[in-house]
Amino acid sequence: MPESNRDTVPLILQDFLPYRLSVVTEAVSSLFATRYQERFGLSIPEWRVVAVVGQHGALSTQQVIEQTGMDRVRVSRAVIRLADKTLLSRAVHPQDQRAQILQLTSAGHAIYCQIVPLAREMQEALSAALTESEQRQLAVILQKIGRRTEELSGGGAD
């Protein structure tokens, strides 16, 4: 379609890829949030921090930011709330006095051990909507969109 005609055609939100991705993401996050809030009293940022720290054992705050894709403020607030709930311990980073090393406490690890099977069940339930081939294709597609997003935001290599 010539560019001049494209500018006069209305945007159909339901066909707009960023919108569709956002809607699905929000729906899935909401599903997780409801379950984790009811069962463990954890918000989405909190359960993501628990999941990534539980996976790795100990991480710096910066590593949690990188692993979760959340911004510094969301991670910081989640870390503070988790520490207040005695689910996460914070120690001064040995190489950087301004940074922290995060670890799950025994109570945090107990919750992590309950979250893992629930997360896997949720993933299986969602994946059941797709064939194995479609699941593989989706993984490739999401990786491509993620890379392209990085490129467009200036984060990718040229």
Q: Which residues contact 12 (CB under 8 A, 6 or more apart)?
A: none
At residue 158, the pLDDT reads 45
Q: Is the CATH number 1.10.10.10 carried by domain 13-127?
A: yes
Is the model's pLDDT at 34 over the cut of 90? no
At residue 107, the pLDDT reads 97
At residue 58, the pLDDT reads 93
What is the mean predicted confidence (pLDDT) over 54-80? 94
**pLDDT tens digits along 87-127:** 999 998 888 878 899 999 999 999 999 999 999 999 999 99
Nearest-angstrom CA–CA distance, 43 and 32 = 9
Secondary structure letter of residue 155 according to DSSP: -
Residue 152, both tokens: 């467009």
b/e burial code for range 124-154 (CB count within 10 A of at least 16 → b) = eeeeeeeeeeeeeeeeeeeeeeeeeeeeeee
What is the mean predicted confidence (pLDDT) over 135-154? 94
